[in-house]
Amino acid sequence: MKVREKIDGLRRLMASNGLAAYVVPGNDPHASEYMASHWFEMQWISGFNGEAGTVVVTMDRALLWTDSRYYLQAGIELQDSGIELMRESDIDCPSVIDWLSENIDGVVGVNPEMFSVNSFREFRSDLKSIDLIKPLWTEDRPSIPQDKLYPYSADFAGESVESKLARMREKVFKTSSADAASTEEHSGALIISALDEIAWLLNIRGNDVEFNPVVISYVVLEKDKCTLFVDAAKIDSPARNYLDFNNIDIRPYEAVFEYIHGLRGTVFYDGARVNEALYEAIPEACKKVNLTSPILIDKAKKNAVELEGERIAMRQDAVALTRFFKWLEEEAFAEGKTRTEWELMEKLHEFRAMGENFVEESFGTIAGYRGNGAIVHYAATPDKCAVVKPEGMLLLDSGGQYLDGTTDITRTVWLGGRIPQQAKLDYTYVLKGHIALARARFPRGTRGNQLDAFAKQYMWEAGITFGHGTGHGVGHFLCCHEGPQNVRTDNNPTPLEIGHIVSDEPGIYRTDKWGIRTENLITVIPAARTKAATTEDEWLAFETLTLCFYDTSLIEMSLMTEDEIDWINAYHVRVYKEVAPLLNDEEKAYLAYKCQAIEI
């Protein structure tokens, strides 16, 4: 069916169910950012293939909300669909909820599995829980993945399952201990639905979601047992032995609703992650407690083993990137050859796959040549990609999943020809902001939004800004994007803490010309107090984890300070020192050239 036919079919179902509007979010039942294709309902109904969006269909209109990362992409993909683009990052754009409240007088339909408890409660409309996509999407809908799950060794995780379970029980159930004596046997339960939280808690990994080594499942943690709800096809003999050894019960995936309905006592859930359908399964007699998941909080603070694993993964990644850029400069365009963006993506994957403990990419590589680099989440395909020539700008955003850790790096490079002065200015504004954030010192309790302007100050002075976040949290051999910490304009109450990893990725995007972004991963560490300090506050700083040279040919040196030049030179010395031992002689020589000192 074409998009218009799908929307017409949805309207017929809406009419038969007495609905004035129906909302299709870009979610799955696990509040995932990256999802198994079985739940690509927003993409299916709209034809928009971005990762973030919400579709609202009424009897006479269809609208799609998405943020500034996808404006260009949505503008192209929504053509001839009859769907209006709502630019939700724009100040004057109403939210989905506000728009429904102002424009719809009637019942709004939603699938409760696709909305978190908190999101469901935000609606001011009369809601009806009903799944109208399932009866429509009957042909070619992908099945829920059935790949095997596998244990993730504590040698990589840095902590045993037994220790994690005990810690979570202590954090969650100690507040209800006073009730325990007067309630039934199962007096406390924590519902866990976020896939990365389950993977972290049970030290398991899987292949159910592209780029994210997670297992589609639910967990109910109780004082005396832990139950994993997962399809039996995912459990082979080694996995069953591992789960049995750790006293983890196994039940079918869909059995979670019936199990929750049988709970007694106090039921804990994170309303930002647990879906409304799970909440509605909790018996009315239970005491319901909405809390921020303690797994989310602890998972974000990497232990010493995880951090050392990240450093190992970064060195492996640096080897791949060095080999790729050497190939790009010396071989890719030899004898007048041209390449496509897709070919560059495949070549980088080839180099990464040579790395020890490499599993897969951590997200789809963005190889944006010239104007395509201005599309923040651009995605080339084999049959829809630009031809790359040895001239102009290339933005390369990529990452790897290694058993040791997760990487995410962006480098923007000039492939040849005369560099426009504006390109040099843009690159330098971005680089200066990138360095300013990496060098930041801040007292304990500082939040990411308080540091956001460090990365934007120079481009703001020039009247330039960007619409995406400056930094996101990163998992350990888990999701490339994780919370609760971040660095962005939006107010986030989570302070940055020792062990947090965030990206540092300011950017400038000029439509049809170029995109420029520079990204490293940085982790929070203790900072030494200065002699001039006037308080006893604990001070924090960042350690840069990523190891890859910058394209210094793009720097407008007149804008750089001596301290910034010293920082770049020191970083390049470190890159060479840590990466060169893993390279052959030709590669070492190339890296030495790219890391040579620069002067004002």
State the CATH number of the domain containing residue 356.
3.90.230.10
* Crossing angle for the helix pair 562-579 and 421-438, to the nearest 10 degrees: 80
As a whole number of angstroms, the distance between CA 317 and CA 312 comes to 9
Tell me the average pLDDT across 461-486: 96
The answer to whether residues 118 and 200 belong to one domain is no
Same domain, 285 and 306: no
Q: Is residue 90 part of a domain?
A: yes
Instruction: Indicate whether 365 and 505 sit together in one domain.
Output: yes
Residue 89 has pLDDT above 90, yes or no: no
- What per-residue confidence (pLDDT) applies to 600? 76
Task: List, in sequence order, every beta strand (DSSP E) within 77-185.
Answer: 84-87, 107-110, 126-129, 150-151
Does the residue 451 lie in any domain? Answer: yes
Residue 179 has pLDDT above 50, yes or no: no
- Name the band, by pLDDT with cuts 50, 70 and 90, for residue 534: low
Kindly indicate the confidence band of residue 177, based on its pLDDT and cuts at 50, 70 and 90. Answer: very low
pLDDT higher than threshold 90 for residue 47? yes
Annotate 467-514 with DSSP letters as a single string: SS-SEEE--SSS-SSEEEEEESSS---PBP-TT-EEEE--EEEETTTE
Residue 21 shares a structural domain with residue 73: yes
What is the pLDDT at residue 312? 98
The predicted model gives 546-553 an average pLDDT of 98
In a domain, 177, yes or no: yes
Q: Are residues 343 and 484 in the same domain?
A: yes
Q: Are 496 and 446 in contact (CB under 8 A)?
A: yes
Sign of CA dihedral 264, 270, 274, 275: positive
Q: What mean pLDDT comes out for the span 105-132?
A: 93
> Could you tell me if 45 and 11 lie in one domain?
yes
- Please say if the pLDDT value at position 186 is more than 60: no
Q: How long a stretch of residues is the chain? A: 600
Cβ-Cβ contacts under 8 Å for 379 (sequence gap 6 or more):
49, 364, 366
pLDDT at 391: 96
Tokens encoding 283: 């018996």
Q: What is the DSSP letter of 69?
A: G
Question: Are 114 and 170 members of one domain?
Answer: no
What is the structure's pLDDT at 175?
58
- 173 dihedral zone (left: phi>0; alpha: psi -120 to 50; beta): alpha
User: What tokens were used for 412?
Assistant: 């923007």
Three-point CA angle 300, 301, 303, nearest 5°: 125
Residue-wise pLDDT for 474-522, tens only, equals 999 999 999 999 999 999 999 999 999 999 999 999 999 999 999 999 9
Instruction: Please provide residue 592's backbone torsions phi and psi, each rounded to the nearest 5 degrees.
Output: -60, -40
Q: 395 — phi, psi (to 5°)?
A: -100, 130
Instruction: Look at residues 557, 523, 360 and name the one whose alpha carbon lies nearest to residue 437.
Output: 523
Confirm if 487 and 451 have CB atoms less than 8 A apart: yes
d(CA 223, CA 233): 28
Final residue belonging to a domain, choices 273, 291, 309: 291
Does some domain include residue 55? yes
pLDDT, one tens digit per residue, over 24-38 is 999 999 999 899 999
Quick one: 353 and 435 in the same domain?
yes
Say yes or no: 110 and 171 in one domain.
no
SS3 (DSSP) at 237: helix
- pLDDT at residue 72 in the model: 82
Q: What is the CA radius of gyration of the chain?
A: 25
Classify residue 423: in a domain, yes or no: yes
Mean pLDDT of the chain: 94
Share of the chain above pLDDT 90, in %: 90
Rounded Cα distance, 447 and 201, in Å: 26
Q: How many domains does the chain contain in total?
A: 3
Position 139 in a domain: no
Per-residue tokens: 432: 């200066």
What does 545-596 look like in DSSP terms, one character per residue? -------GGG--GGG--HHHHHHHHHHHHHHHHHHGGGS-HHHHHHHHHHT-
Answer for the pair 321, 583: CB distance below 8 angstroms, yes or no: no
Each residue of 296-308: pLDDT tens digit? 999 999 999 999 9
Same domain membership, residue 125 and residue 159? no
If asked whether residues 576 and 508 sit together in one domain, one would say yes
Provide the pLDDT for residue 187: 63
How far is residue 574's CA from residue 135's CA, in Å, rounded to a whole number? 57
Single residue among 77, 97, 129 that ends a domain in this structure: 129
Tell whether 84 is covered by a domain.
yes
Q: How far apart are CA 197 and CA 483, in angstroms?
A: 11
Token pair 């993909």 in the structure block, residue:
77
| CATH code, 223 | 3.40.350.10
Instruction: Identify the H or E element spanning 15.
Output: helix 3-16
Assess whether 415 and 538 both reside in one domain: yes
Choose among 308, 304, 300, 227: nearest CA to 263: 227
Close Cβ partners of 349 (under 8 Å, ≥ 6 residues apart): 361, 365
What is the pLDDT averaged over residues 320-346?
Answer: 97
Confidence class for position 180, pLDDT limits 50, 70, 90: very low
Q: Which two tokens stand for residue 551?
A: 């394209």
Query: Is the peptide bond prior to 484 cis by the omega test (within 30 degrees of 0)?
Result: yes
For residue 584, tell me if it sits in a domain: yes
With residue 49 as reference, give the H or E element that holds it. none
Domain range for 584 is 301-594
